Amino acid sequence: MKELEKEDVKGFRNFLRMDYELYQEILQRIEGRITKQDTSCRKSLSPGLKLAITLRYLSAGDSYQSLMYGFRVAHSTISKFIREVCEAIIAEFAEELIPCPTTTDEWKDIAKHFSDKWQFHHCLGALDGKHIAIKCPKGGGSMYYNYKGFHSIILMALVDGDYKFTWVEVGSHESAGDAQVFNNSELKEAIDKGVLHFPPSDPLPDDDTKMPYFIAGDDAFALRSWLMKPFLQRQMDNTQRIFNYRLSRARCIVENAFSILVHRFRCLLTTMQEPDTVASIVLTCVCLHNLLRKRSPKQHRRDADEEDSNHNVIPGA
């Protein structure tokens, strides 16, 4: 780690998916939460070592046995503190990095980003769910078994126009569908009660008919005045096809965000074990994803595709 820090900055970033300065900032903020006292039998592991092992596990998805030989820490010890470090990161950063908007101005900022970058007006975010594969827990039966043929939990997320997660819910049984998970979520309840303060309806550009602000979803979700879904594929006219295309482009933001997330934190591509531990790991990855996009936006804009004002796609790295 010290050699990478001093001699290979790019190597350090590739090894832990972040620069040394950001690693130090995270360490300083969670150090008090993960520090243990020395005993008469042995010294406790340093917080910096715990954080480095956890970040390496998240970024590479290495097994505990592989990490054991890389860091010279017993795999049984690693299995105990990874969840501890993840929960410390969540406790320290989640409220700051995944703040669901609650004011009209905050929602309008998101809608403006969708309008400017993706030419889809009045959109407050893209909503979808993702399967996170797990091993069948003891006594789990078919509780976590999904229609794709494996056991998993759901990451349900709302994403803004810059691939940042604005709301997430992790841990629902995959035997339930996306729509059912969303209908039972706190976000749906808050929208129904009106406590999120969605902007009032106003006209689209170059129009005088008032149009409500809405969330973009796919066919799995029920149509609402605040949730837009595509027209059925049967007997569509040209106007409906154009609308479906625009809605699809906006909704692809959440699919792209999931792809960026799992390719940056490759532990999500593996099959993990305990559902409670998996939920902590997934939420930690979401926090770190938003933190990285917040701290180095220029770098991440170069990574993703964009579209210019003439609707030409500019490929990303």
pLDDT at residue 152 tops 60: yes
Distance between CA atoms of 247 and 123, rounded to whole angstroms?
Answer: 9
pLDDT at residue 299 tops 80: no
Please give the C-alpha separations between residue 156 and each of 95, 167, 304, in angstroms, as whole numbers.
17, 8, 22
Confidence of residue 302 (pLDDT cuts 50, 70, 90): low
Structural domain boundaries in the chain: 2-96, 98-314
Higher per-residue pLDDT: 272 or 164? 164
pLDDT at residue 308 tops 80: no
Rounded to an integer, the average pLDDT of 122-146 is 86
**Residue 103: CB partners within 8 Å, gap ≥ 6?**
197
Residue 204 CA to its chain's centroid (Å): 30
Rounded to an integer, the average pLDDT of 262-278 is 89
Please tell me whether residue 229 adopts helix, strand or coil conformation.
coil
Other CB atoms within 10 A of residue 252 CB: 16
